[in-house]
Amino acid sequence: MARLQDKIIIITGGARGIGAAFCKAVAAEGAVVVVSDVRDGAGTVKAIEAEGGRAVFMHCDVANSKSANDLVSDVVKRFGRIDALVNNAAIFANLQRQSFFEIGEQEWDDVMAVNVRGPFLLCKAVAPILMKQKAGKIVNIASGTVFKGQTGITHYVTSKGAIVALTRCVARELGNYNINVNAIAPGLTMSEGVLSNPSMTGAGANATLNTRALKREQQPEDLTGALVFLCSSDSDFMTGQTMVVDGGSVMR
């Protein structure tokens, strides 16, 4: 029996990288996936359909409240309910490593807009739906860097720290409605975006790899088990948690 049969799951940032791997993984477990992105997500939809899965693409700029609200209302209009929201969209792979004092205000604000305001807006947009259903899952994507204070990407690490905090707050507020809110904290993952950015690979990536108990590169597929678990009824008693999936670099 598939673990997510007929579940309606929205995954932001689903056009590529970890998000695309998430979309494929939940589709393989029987879910109907709403692939959402500012980029074109047709490739992810096609890949899922080729495996016999079900997916649709819906455009969304998570940093924009109208766009976030439209996504949620379009999904409800089309499918009648929402079983899970995965807040995966984030600015990361295109960043250049730099000292914190070199990060400009605009770049800081851009990262915060997508990485923090985006998940906040989508949590706000889906909450009334999930509360009415008295059921639902929100999975936020944080980062293992929060627990290490990784240098070079201070805006990103700070934004993901906010996601850990957001997860805890929203979990406490929605617990009474049988809504689970959890986060996954990945390590540096070799998505196509990361691989195409020399600033993210090379020496920095090797240093990260060496901090792990399991000394190998992390792949997007390493994260899919935790995601399926947190989207499924298997995690019904878990909420407010940030689960680190990083090969044993951070241990909590």
Partner 1 sequence: MSKLFDLTGKTAFVTGAASGLGYAMAEGFAEHGALVTLADANRAGLDAAVAKLNAAGHQAMAVELDVREPANIRTAVAGAAKHYGKMDIVVANAGITGGPPISEEAGHIENIDLDTWNNVVKINQTGVFATLQAAAAVMKPQRSGRIIVTASISGLRTSEVSGYPYTVTKAAVAHLVHLAAVELAPYNILVNGVAPGPFMTNIADGRLFRDPERVKAMANSVPLKRMADPQELKGLALLLASGAGSFITGQVIPIDGGATAL
Residues carrying an active site annotation: 156
Q: Is 237 in the site for partner 1 (CB under 8 A)?
A: yes
- Which of 82, 146, 222, 231 binds partner 1 (CB under 8 A)? It is 222
Alpha-carbon distance of 70 to 80, in angstroms, equals: 14
Can you spell out the DSSP letters for the chain? --TTTT-EEEEETTTSHHHHHHHHHHHHTTPEEEEEESS--HHHHHHHHHTT-EEEEEE--TTSHHHHHHHHHHHHHHHS--SEEEE---S-TTPPP--GGG--HHHHHHHHIIIIIHHHHHHHHHHHHHHHHT-EEEEEE--GGGGTT-SS-HHHHHHHHHHHHHHHHHHHHHGGGTEEEEEEEE--B--HHHHT-TTTSTHHHHHHHHTSSS-S-B-GGGGHHHHHHHHSGGGTT--S-EEEESSSSS--
> How many chain residues are in contact with partner 1, going by CB under 8 A?
48
Q: Provide, rounded to whole angstroms, the least separation between the CB of residue 14 and partner 1.
A: 18
Alpha-carbon distance of 32 to 43, in angstroms, equals: 16
Q: Is 145 in the site for partner 1 (CB under 8 A)?
A: no
Q: Is 67 in the site for partner 1 (CB under 8 A)?
A: no
Nearer to partner 1, 154 or 180 (CB): 180
- Which of 44, 140, 208, 235 binds partner 1 (CB under 8 A)? It is 235
Q: Is 134 in the site for partner 1 (CB under 8 A)?
A: no
189 contacts 219 by C-beta, under 8 angstroms? yes
Q: Provide, rounded to whole angstroms, the least separation between the CB of residue 13 and partner 1.
A: 20
Q: Provide, rounded to whole angstroms, the least separation between the CB of residue 186 and partner 1.
A: 9
Instruction: Kindly list the distances between the CA atom of residue 195 and the CA atoms of 31, 41, 149, in Å, as whole numbers in the listed order.
Output: 29, 19, 22
Q: Is 47 in the site for partner 1 (CB under 8 A)?
A: no
- Which of 20, 123, 228, 231 binds partner 1 (CB under 8 A)? It is 228
Q: Considering only residues 162-221, where is the footprint of partner 1 by CB under 8 A?
A: 167-168, 171-172, 174-176, 178, 180, 187, 212-215, 218
Alpha-carbon distance of 238 to 81, in angstroms, equals: 22
- Which of 21, 29, 75, 140 binds partner 1 (CB under 8 A)? It is 29
Q: Is 83 in the site for partner 1 (CB under 8 A)?
A: no
Q: Provide, rounded to whole angstroms, the least separation between the CB of residue 242 and partner 1.
A: 7
Q: Is 246 in the site for partner 1 (CB under 8 A)?
A: yes
Q: Is 20 in the site for partner 1 (CB under 8 A)?
A: no
Nearer to partner 1, 5 or 94 (CB): 5
Binding footprint of partner 1 on the chain (CB under 8 A): 1-3, 25, 28-29, 167-168, 171-172, 174-176, 178, 180, 187, 212-215, 218, 222-226, 228-229, 232-248, 250-252
